[in-house]
Amino acid sequence: MDDEELTALRARRLGDLQKEFGGNGPPNAEREAEQKAKAEDFKNQILNQVLTQEARARLNTIAVAKPEKAALVENMIVRMVQMGQIQSKLQESNLINLYSCISILHQSPCQPCACQTSQ
């Protein structure tokens, strides 16, 4: 095999690898940011469809105070919609119930009281 054939073979192989691994596309950080933005838009569309204005306002208030728990509630609502468990708009009272359930599930375990540690 001469140099020209070897160079052509290498160029073809490099092109195949770039196509396979996305070498000509945007860098991974940009692609990840774009995917994150799309996922966030999708989540917001679902939340806007299934929450009343009062419930959405309550969720935004929770997000300011406790962003982690608000994210858990949002993700739970999205999953419930995708699984067909939510058929109508959620009222503020429904949202409060969901938040209460999540708060109970994510409480830290109780510390043993003094009477239990002395035994």
Q: What is the pLDDT, as a whole number, of residue 12?
A: 83
| Residue-number span of the structural domain to which 35 is assigned | 26-102
Answer yes or no: is 47 within a domain: yes
Whether 116 has a pLDDT exceeding 90, the answer reads no
Answer yes or no: is 34 within a domain: yes
Q: The domain spanning residue 31 has which CATH number?
A: 1.10.8.140
For the stretch 48-81, what's the b/e string if a residue is b when 16 or more beta carbons lie within 10 angstroms of its beta carbon?
eebbeeebbebbeebeeeeeeebebbbeebbeeb
Q: Per the structure, how many domains does the chain have?
A: 1
Answer yes or no: is 37 within a domain: yes
- The model's confidence at residue 23, banded by pLDDT at 50, 70 and 90, is low
Answer yes or no: is 111 within a domain: no
Q: What are phi and psi of 90, to 5 degrees?
A: -85, 130
pTM score > 0.85 for this model?
no
Q: What are phi and psi of 63, to 5 degrees?
A: -65, -30
Q: In terms of pLDDT, which residue wins out, 16 or 45?
A: 45
Answer yes or no: is 66 within a domain: yes
